[in-house]
Amino acid sequence: MAFGETWLPGYPVWLDVCPNVALWDHPPTKHVFARLRQNGITVPGPEVAALCELAGDLKISIVIGVNERVEAGPGNGTLYNSLLTITSEAKLANHHRKLVPTYTERLLWGNGDGRGLSSVETKNGRVGGLICWEHWMPLARMAMHNSGEHIHIAVWPTVHELHQLCSRHYAFEGRCFVLAVGLMMPARDLPYELQAGANTQNQSGEWLERGGSAIIAPNTRYIVEPVYDREELVIADLNLSEIDQEFLTLDVSGHYARPDVFAFETKVK
């Protein structure tokens, strides 16, 4: 079961539609940021423990985007855009922080590290994930391809057309299934401090975040077409043997890697 980018407690779409949020010492922004910090979660922490218990009880794996707050020690004043993978054994198996916050996001989040650039074994196969524009970082993709994903979780705010293209490309390049996961957020849920003058004209109806969640096969076809502008569970059974079929022609970590020409390594602190 997969949830979108910073699903808990929600994506700060106000960065892109509300005026003056980047002004120095802007009281409304400071109030909203404080609330975002207060509602962030710690890793580990009580929310993670509750999710682990839930995953164990239901015998499912959970991949969820979170706004992470560091409780003490280095980095305790910085938030991180993180992706957590929890297995059906009630274990937090991977904790990945977004390497580079995208554009306006740099106002809120710090740079992550490479410790989470891996897939984890689950009863459904090896599961990995990246966050939003990390999918345009070629070396981050390569690290994940080397980890041998069967199922890749691509989390976004909205999986609009460009993000659909990116998710389908990832499925083809990585020879894996991709769950492209978007968020739903109505305009009425903008922080009340920042609603005045918000630019929502380019949005679709009542939704600021429109979803677009989809499930994509290793040959780029849609198993489930993107779902926009409504809340819906997106569910499918996956035939993992399709991965073996597609490796006949392309394996970027194997016969297409050309280690005699290129050298690749991950530097994880």
**Residue 184: Cβ-neighbour burial (10 angstroms; 0-12, 13-18, 19+):** buried
Q: Residue 207 corresponds to which tokens in the numbers above?
A: 């939704």
Q: How far is it between the farthest Cα atoms of the chain?
A: 58
96 near 88, Cβ under 8 Å?
no
CA within 13 Å, CB half, 73: 2
What is the model's pLDDT at position 214? 98
How far is residue 142's CA from residue 90's CA, in Å, rounded to a whole number? 29
H helices present in 5-45, as ranges: 14-17, 27-39
What is the model's pLDDT at position 203? 54
Reference 139, options 117, 120, 167, 156; nearest CA is 117
What is the model's pLDDT at position 75? 86
What tens-digit pLDDT sequence spans the chain (269 residues)?
Answer: 999 999 999 999 999 999 999 999 999 999 999 999 999 999 999 999 999 999 999 999 999 999 999 999 988 999 999 999 999 999 999 999 999 999 999 999 999 999 999 999 999 899 999 999 999 999 999 999 999 999 999 999 999 999 999 999 999 999 999 999 999 999 889 999 998 888 876 555 689 999 999 999 999 999 999 999 999 999 999 999 999 999 999 999 999 999 999 999 888 76
**Residue 129: Cβ-neighbour burial (10 angstroms; 0-12, 13-18, 19+):** buried
129 near 156, Cβ under 8 Å?
no
What is the model's pLDDT at position 100? 97
47 near 77, Cβ under 8 Å?
no
CA 257, 170, 7 angle in degrees (round to 5)? Answer: 135
Q: Which residue is listed with tokens 């996961």?
A: 181
Q: Which residue spans within 100-197 are E strands per DSSP?
A: 120-122, 125-131, 151-155, 177-181, 184-186
Rg (CA), the chain: 19
Q: Which residue is listed with tokens 């059974």?
A: 237
- Strand, coil or helix: what is 208? strand
Reference 92, options 28, 45, 24, 139; nearest CA is 45
- Strand, coil or helix: what is 193? helix
- Strand, coil or helix: what is 2? strand
Active site (catalytic) residues: 5, 98, 132
List, in order, residues 6 or more apart from 141 with CB less than 8 Å away: 130, 135, 170, 173, 174
What is the model's pLDDT at position 269? 62
